[in-house]
Structure 1
Amino acid sequence: MAEFIKLNTFTDARGNLTVIEKVIPFPIKRIFYIYGVDDSVRGGHRHKQTIQAAICLKGSCRIYNDDNKTKQEFLLDNPAKCLILHPEDWHQMYDFSEDAMLMVLASEYFDPEDYIYDAYRPR
């Protein structure tokens, strides 16, 4: 099941510093980011092996998640919020603000064979 983890953020008069260190529950092999999104829906898949950590660095977006047990919607609107998506988490990213920049850290290198596009069937 997808879950939020809090990233350590230090704030003082100079601004904010958010640290990603020793909190991501997997070794990071791939980093990508999504931005300039119109009203499209991104994602629409789950994985065989890949675990992901999604952080909206700027702006906001929503992530719908279905792990075949629970359906949830998450709002990413703060760069100190990190959403962990497990391989069984079929997810879609949508409702991107105009300035949104979504960064994703992945446990595996890109492999088209790792993707499962079929959504879970209603029970």
Structure 2
Amino acid sequence: MAKLLELQTYLSDKGSLTVFEKVLKKGIKRIFYIYNAHKQERGGHRHKLAYNALTCVSGSCEVYVHNGEKEETFILDSPDQCLLLEPRDWHTMYNFSENSVLLVLSDRFYEKEDYIYEKYEELIAIV
């Protein structure tokens, strides 16, 4: 299941420096960012192999994650936090603030065949 990590951050009177290091075990192969998304929903998939790390370097957004067994919503609103997504984590990003920039780091290059768009079956609450 996805997990929220605190990134190593150094504070000084000159500003803050946050380090993205040793987050993806297989290293970083691809970096992209999402901006001007406003009220759009992004994502809507999971992967066969790719691990991704997401951080809002500016503004905020919400990330809904469903791994087939558990579902959770994360709020990314600080550049010193990172959401690590496992391949099986079906996810959508939404509720982007006006000036948000969502940075995504992946341990794999883009491969169309790695994407799975079908949602998991809805979870049924047992009462």
Q: Secondary structure at the match of 2:45?
A: strand
Identical columns (%): 46
Alignment of 1:69 onto 2:69: yes
Q: After superposing the two structures, state which structure 1 stretch, 35-44 or 16-25, moved more.
A: 16-25
Deviations 1:4-60 (A, max 9, x none): 111111111111011112333331100000001121100000000000000100000
Alignment of 1:18 onto 2:18: yes
What TM-score do you get using the length of structure 2 for normalisation?
0.93
Q: After superposing the two structures, state which structure 1 stretch, 90-99 or 21-30, moved more.
A: 21-30
Gap runs ≥5 in structure 1? none
CA distance in 1, matches of 2:5, 2:24: 8
Equivalent residues of 2:51, 2:84 under 8 A apart: yes
CA distance in 2, matches of 1:118, 1:22: 30
Q: Which amino acid aligns with 1:55?
A: T
What TM-score do you get using the length of structure 1 for normalisation?
0.96
Gap runs ≥5 in structure 2? none
Task: Quote the residue 2:120 is aligned against.
Answer: 120
CA distance in 1, matches of 2:35, 2:56: 10
Query: Mapping of 1:1-123 within 5 angstroms?
Result: 1-123=1-123
CA distance in 2, matches of 1:31, 1:52: 10
